[in-house]
Structures are given as structure tokens and as C-alpha cells.
Amino acid sequence: MCYARFDMHAPSDRQIILKLELEPTYPQQSSLLLRGDGGAQEQPLKFLEQTGGYDYFVIEMTASAPFEYALRVTTPGQSRWITPKGEEHDRLPHNWFRYPPQARVPSIPDEAASNPVQSPIRAESLKCLLFETPAWVRDAVFYQIFVERFARGEPARDPLGVQPWGSPPTNGNFMGGNLEGIIDRLDYLTDLGITALYLTPIFQSPSNHKYDTQDYFTVDPQFGDLEVLRRLVEACHQRGLRVVLDGVFNHCSDQNPFFLDVKRHGPQSRYWNWFHIRDWPFPDHFGDHGEVLRWYDCWWGFHTLPKLNYHHPEVEAYFLNVATYWLREAGIDGWRLDVPNEVIQSFWPKFRRAVKAVNPEAYIVGEIWDDASAWLQGDQFDAVMNYRFQKALVGYFAEERMDTHAFDDTLRYLLQDYPEPATAVMLNLLGSHDTARPMTVVQRRDEGSHALESLKLMAAMQFTCTGAPCIYYGDEIGMEGDKDPDCRRCYPWDWEQQVENSGPRAELLAFYKKLIAVRKDHPALRHGVFR
């Protein structure tokens, strides 16, 4: 079996591009066999170039979807089909790809493809199924804020036992960051060049991270209230900033009223089927981690995070209401979705339709750490947090566990694996609330100026690749921190008075400002397409 890899996507209305990558063989030709409700047609691919040790062929079409297709590769003495089941060598393929992958294509007999030149697909039957992503995201520079640790504004509503700003972070302590603090620092963010904020969860919750929601319709009192959120969104919009909130819809807090009702009333609770209950009553305390799974499903065995049951129609309806409520009532510009791969996938097309009905330009970005192709076909998410990109940059620039060839392959695969509309709005990050800080990562191998230069190289790559760069709060000044919870330290607003690190931090901040300015000054960095 010979190496072959291809990508098909729609960069614009009514345009489809297919790019095929093959091992170099001379001579070789390739063609695309299409079939749809109007018949079949075979079209040749054009040789584009030989680079990186591969031959590249391309075809651009105005006909796009829905249709089925297979690829033919012809070399001296051999003709083979590339199909979903691998190579085939019969006169016609037995298995077919679909475009879009989720589309239903009317079945046609195989003989319709036996003489493709005589049975062309009708152009009017091949109108593009549009995959539109928000135009503003292509121009965006995101800034992720862990709300409890970014800035403390007044009036602050402190939880019991709030610690001084800058205390070492733990899983359970509070520092008093809130939405007012973000409002107070908007001038700093606009001066930096930020155009969009992604806020970690802000809804009522007993924790500092808020990924265990008690009430999905209430801003946590420690952070503010609905009116403060509205003021924040309005102030951002006046400055040209968008606001994306974090939705934790796979699980909730065990202090959520719905789960407490189940805990008290068992099978008699109207919310019994909102969760995955195995046994009842629940014990007052759980022993070893994961023991809770004897009684109910929860996220990764944490008894405080019961998993929601999306097979129940009331659960679906409830969270569709949550999603649209905050779009309408607060004017937010999109949702970042926590662990969406753990929610039944049939929910997300409904989520997309509901969100886009309120705001067609709302951004839907999922937290998927590996291949996200199944969620990026135009019917679910606009993009994902690009952890594959992040791992590649860390592996190459910081840890040096990836050579140049492997790094180049990874970036090419990222471009090929996802449709261009999704690639253009991917959330490209170097770090987040779930990873070690980039500065800490580079310092494991280098020290001083060498670490700083490695971080600059990573940032330069981040800001010149396709997608929307996202800065985790404080990374622009080289904040340090290992994995959660250490990566959730307070922003050191007095850093300029700290003699030890003020020089490197000022240098890195100036570098980030320059990167952002360069990206804004050159449209190709925001709207260019790799061919």
C-alpha cells in the first residue's frame, strides 16, 4: 500500500478545494470520481508541486455537496482507488467518501459511475452546504482570563477566608478576583492589542475555578451579578472587544439543586433521569477516588461532579435555554465548551442551531485535546482549542523532543485534517488553566535569556500561523507556574516594581505587543489560505 493523504474543504461559498499528497512516483496521475443525485463525473487533478518529499495534486470545483467520491491514482502498470476502506483495485470503487461527511447522499446504482463522462452531475444539484464560521474571529487576538486570579475590583464580595492577593494557589483557596477587576483592566488589555476575551466559568459555584456549576442562570456572587456582567460586555464592545463565556454542560456541582433533589428523594425526584444513577441512597461520604461510580456517573470519578444525562429531552432543552439566555440577556459573543467530547454528540448540532439562531456570528469553540474532525464538519463547532498545535510548539521549541521534520508534518496534518473555515478560526494557544505555563516549560531546559528566546519563538509561531492566537493571562509577561493549580496564580500587577524579573517581563511584553501589531498590519496573517 502506498502513502496517500488528502484534504477537502470549502474556503468560500460555492468553492471546494481538494489537495492530495502522494509519495513521488514518475509518472503518476490522479483524478476525482464524484457521484450524486444527478449521476457521476470523473475530473483530473492538477499537479501542483513537489515539496518536502511529496507530490501534491489539487482540484478546485464550484460543485460541492452533497456527494460521494473516491480518488484514483494511476502509475505505470497500476490504477488504484483511495477509499474509506483503503486501497481498491477493481474497475470501480466499492466504498465512497462523503462530502460533507454527515450528509445524506441519494443512493444511485454503481452503473451510474461506470461511464462517468456520459453521466455528469447536474451543477444545480451540487450547491454548497455552507460551513460558515464567524468572520470576526479571523481578526481576533484572544486573552483567556481565569477570573478568580486576574484582578480584584471594588466592591468585592469575598468568600470566607479570602487570602491576600498573590498567595500560593491551591485547589481550594480564594484570592478575590472578580468581573469588576476585569472592567478596571480593560485599558491594559486594549493597549496590549487584545480584541476578544475568553473567561473561565463565571456561574454560581462553590469552587475557585467554577467548573462545578450550582446555578447556570446566576453569576457567582463572588464575581458580581448580571448587571456587572452586562457592564463588562458593554464596556468591551465599546472598545471593540468580544466576550466568550465558558459553558460546563457535561457535569454540574453535587450542590446543584437538581442533584440535591435526587439525593433527597431518590427515584421520586423529577430530576432522577437527569443523571446516570446506579444505586440509591447515596452514602454521606465516599472512600477511595472512583468509589462513587457504584452509585452514579461523574466526571473522572470525582463525586462532586455528577454527569448529566443528555438522553433525557429535558436536559437538552434546559441547556439549550442556558446557551441562548446569556446570548440574549448579556450580549455575549460565544461559548467555549468544557469537555464536549463527553456529551453525546447528537446534542451539539442542536446547540449550534440554537446559538446561531440568536447570533449567527457567535463563536462556538470546544475543548478537544486530540483529533477534533468529528466536531468540525459544519454542523457542530466553529473550532476547538488547538491543543495539537500547542503540543507541537512545546515539543519543538521548548522540550526539543520533536525534530524539524516531525514538527513540519504535524503542522501540515493540522491544516489537512480540518476544513479551512474551522482552521481559520482555531483557538491557537501556548498555555491554559489546564497546562503548565510556557515560561515554566522552557525553563525546564534553558535558563535566563535562552528560555526567554525559546518563548519568543513559540509566540512568533503562534501569531503567524492560521487561526486566532490566544494568550493565557500573564503569559505576555512570562508568568510562571506548573500544572493546575500552580498555573492559576494571581496576576502580579506590581511586577514593574519587582526588581528581579522586571527587565525580562518588560522585554517579553514589548515583544507580544509587536507581534500583535504585525498580525494586525498584515492581512495575509489573518486571512491567508495555505495551498
- Give me the active site residues, please: 338, 367
Q: What is the CA radius of gyration of the chain?
A: 26
Helix (H) or strand (E) holding 259: helix 257-265
Count of Cβ atoms closer than 10 Å to residue 27 Cβ:
8
List, in sequence order, every residue forming a beta bridge with 382; answer none if it has no partner: none
The answer to whether the CB of 457 falls within 8 A of the CB of 515 is: no
Count of Cβ atoms closer than 10 Å to residue 412 Cβ:
16
The answer to whether the CB of 364 falls within 8 A of the CB of 351 is: yes
Would you call 129 exposed, middle or buried from its count of C-beta atoms within 10 A (0-12, 13-18, 19+)? Answer: middle
Task: Evaluate the omega torsion of the peptide bond into residue 155 and state whether it is cis, within 30 degrees of 0.
Answer: yes
Which among 1, 71, 2, 66 has a CA at the least distance from the CA of 33? 71
Alpha helical stretches, state H, 285-432: 313-330, 347-358, 387-393, 404-417, 420-423
Which among 118, 61, 71 has a CA at the least distance from the CA of 92? 71
Cα–Cα distances in angstroms (integers) from residue 316 to residues 214, 313, 343, 356, in the given order: 17, 5, 11, 16
List, in sequence order, every residue forming a beta bridge with 19; answer none if it has no partner: 7, 58
Which among 390, 379, 385, 377 has a CA at the least distance from the CA of 336? 385
The answer to whether the CB of 357 falls within 8 A of the CB of 375 is: no
SS3 16: strand
Would you call 151 exposed, middle or buried from its count of C-beta atoms within 10 A (0-12, 13-18, 19+)? Answer: buried
Query: 378 — alpha (psi -120 to 50), left (phi > 0) or beta?
Result: left
Chain CA centroid to CA 78, Å: 42
Q: Within 13 A of 505's CA, how many CA atoms are on the CB side? A: 18
Count of Cβ atoms closer than 10 Å to residue 166 Cβ:
14
